[in-house]
Amino acid sequence: MNTLMRWIGIAVVIFIAAPLVIVVPMSFSTAASLQFPPPGYSWGYYQQFFSDPSWLRPAWNSIYIATMNTLLTMALVVPATFALVRHKFWGKSFANLMMMMPMAVPHIVMAVGYYSYFGELKLVHSKLGVILAHSCLSVPITFLVLSANLKGFDLTLERAARSLGATPGQVFRHITLPILKPGLAISALFAFIQSFDETVVAIFISGRDAETLPRKMFDSIREEADPVIAVISTLLFAVVFAGLIAPSLIKGLRRMAGGTPSK
């Protein structure tokens, strides 16, 4: 049983890691198009990515849109989550359902909706349009992460703080917010990644001015299978990987420095 589980585990890891194993070598390829295994290795496509405005502009667009999307999503979802988790009110279950709706509706349906609706509002082909659309799509995942966090939050802590002399505002600032910080950070990260990853809606409404990286990659793959997209994939992977290991790395360094005494 134990050995079987171990082999299944290994198989799953290989299955998940396989695309990465292929993409990373291809980004260093000398071939003119995507090819595996690569005929030779070079930094060529990295140089091309960092010098070609037709790649850099969508990259900056994506970062800008994802950042704005994160801010907007959090501004909407944080108060909504507090209301939905902590309070009872008429129409609550309907509101809950609506928060999850964007996850249930296929992106292509949403995209068509935005295209026609935003067309009238002159928001198609604008960054604002993409930000608004992406925020709507980011709501379910941020709400899920945050509400799970908030449900696990011990309300006695807030009572304790009140009994110790804190006003509700002080309780939020000194107790609730700091304790929820990791949850807030993770849900914000999800909102960012959701927007950064999103392709379907971006293809429909981003146009040339607000072109995002996934849209550019999609166009590129359709037209020429440019190995630059392997470069981008590798870079994204590196960023995410760094983001995941950074916290534990910092913790480890702090421990080595003796900042927090261990038990």
Partner 1 sequence: MSAYLRLAGVNKTFGNFTALGHIDLEVEKGEFVTFLGPSGSGKTTTLMVIAGFEKATRGEITVADQSLAHLAPQERNIGIVFQNYALFPHKTAAENVYFPLQMRKVGKKEGMKKAAEMLDLVGLKGFAHRLPKELSGGQQQRVALARALVFEPDLLLLDEPLGALDKNLREQMQIEIKRIQKRLGVTTIFVTHDQTEAMSMSDRIVVFSNGAIEQAAAPLDIYHRPATRFVADFIGESNLLEATITDAATGKAHSPVLGEVTCGAEGLPPLTDGQAVSLLIRPEHLKLSREPKEGRQNAQMVIETIVNYGDNAVVIGHAGDQQIRVRVPGADVVILKEGDSCHFSWTADAVFVLDK
Torsion (CA) 38, 42, 48, 51 in degrees, nearest 10: 160
156 forms part of the interface with partner 1 (CB under 8 A) = yes
Element spanning 171, H or E: helix 168-171
Q: Kindly state the smallest distance separating residue 176's Cβ from partner 1, in Å.
A: 10
Under 8 Å CB-to-CB from 166, ≥6 apart: which residues?
Answer: 174, 175
Among 167, 238, 240, 244, indicate the residue that binds partner 1 (CB under 8 A). Answer: 167
Give the whole-angstrom CA distance, residue 193 versus residue 51: 24
**Is 52 in contact with 65 (CB distance < 8 Å)?**
no
Rule CB under 8 A: choose which of 4, 93, 106, 154 binds partner 1. 154
Is there binding between residue 157 and partner 1 (CB under 8 A)? yes
DSSP 13: H
CA triple 16-17-20, angle to 5 deg: 125
Contact letters for partner 1, residues 168-187 (x by CB under 8 A)? --x---xx--xx--------
Q: Using the rule CB under 8 A, which residue among 100, 164, 185, 221 binds partner 1?
A: 164
Report the nearest approach of partner 1 to the CB of residue 168 (Å).
8
**Which listed residue (22, 85, 144, 162) binds partner 1 by CB under 8 A?**
162
Nearer to partner 1, 175 or 210 (CB): 175
Give 57 or 162: the residue with its C-beta nearer to partner 1: 162
Residue 176 in contact with residue 158, Cβ under 8 Å?
Answer: yes
Q: Which residues bind partner 1 (CB under 8 A)?
A: 154, 156-157, 159-167, 170, 174-175, 178-179, 260-263
